[in-house]
Copies of this chain bind each other. A is one copy, B any other.
């Protein structure tokens, strides 16, 4: 049994093959864009007297990118360290599949979102988009956490990134949908994809590992590092790829208020559902974030602080009322990403349908270009937003089904039912602290001495 989980050949082989493929494809397909290429940027500058270095997209987007980057690697990574014996895997596998996904996503998104003379153009915006797609994979990782080998996770990432790019292409390029913060493309997609995968991989005998499927005191504090970083930087996440100026500013602010309102709802319901009125770290770690998910679509619109707070409060509330425990959703991604993502899509649809030139003025084209040009009226725009949600759900569930079936093949070294939620299977785990051993030894020998005398 131990042999079957041995990663000595499988993991290196897969990593090296994937990286070689990535390098070859990047060499063939990827080029600097106008803002990163030495020749192009400086030519363009010379043609326009007013174009200055501060107009390079780097200065508009890079601070947001770094915040998003922290969410992907520290936020998601540490959020999942709550399990008592799975901290190395949570942070480590998060690191591995994120590093792979962002490269693969650059290619897939570049391919679907428009080639330039057969080439993919990259810059800070493509980096943010790649991180976004990676976020979707990490959401799904939360559902299967503790029950999958790193090889399975990489295989999942290959499929999920690809389908993410297809779904994003349909929504953004074909339907012209708005979804800057990814309520649909990232959260709904990642959640239902992951839930379907974990359902297909259902383990009837997972109870054999249930004593490890819980937190300890310090692991909950490590998880709070993840929670707080996700919470703080969510305004940057939702605003990272909106249009410059008022939309970016407004999105960050709407998200800020939504999250604050959501946090009060979270504490309220966490105490309310506990017989002794005690707060539960699992709730705080997850539900407080729902407010960011739920304004992922409408955040860039004229939702107002008032509207954002209502949405945030609702998001924090519904996070308590839908449980998917029966499908072995380790991290509770249905509560954190699934339901709030759907809520976000609905809010986005309604807010879009209410858009008007009276409210948006000349700013209408920066949020709803298709409405401003008269291609669509606000109602049909809202309708397309709703259809986008339906397509996302379909793609996620179908993709998750296929991917789950592929991951079921017994060739990836998945952990046996008795060894789930355990770092020791895939990691060299150090011994206990010297001081604790000493403490024990000193104390025991004292007792033994007393008894013997």
Contacts and interface: CB of A to CB of B under 8 A. Distances in A.
27 contacts: A7-B271, A8-B271, A11-B268, A12-B267, A15-B265, A15-B267, A19-B264, A19-B309, A26-B257, A30-B306, A38-B364, A42-B362, A45-B362, A58-B245, A62-B249, A70-B232, A74-B228, A85-B433, A88-B281, A95-B288, A96-B264, A96-B267, A103-B309, A217-B430, A436-B439, A439-B440, A441-B443
Given A233-B66, A277-B11, A362-B43, A302 B249 contact: no
B74 A361 contact: no
A264 B21 CA distance: 12
B6 A261 contact: no
A220 B56 contact: no
A377 interface: no
Interface string A272-300: 10111111110010001000000000000
A78 B224 CA distance: 10
Interface stretch (A173-181, A199-207, A208-216): A208-216
B124 A253 contact: yes
Contact of A304 (B30, B99, B279): B30
Given A123-B249, A127-B253, A244-B53, A279 B95 contact: no
A448 to B, nearest CB: 5
A168 interface: no
A114 interface: no
Contacts of A106: 305
A59 interface: yes
A268 B15 contact: yes
Interface stretch (A189-197, A344-352, A384-392, A421-429): A421-429
A433 B8 contact: no
A113 interface: no
Contacts of A443: 440-441, 444
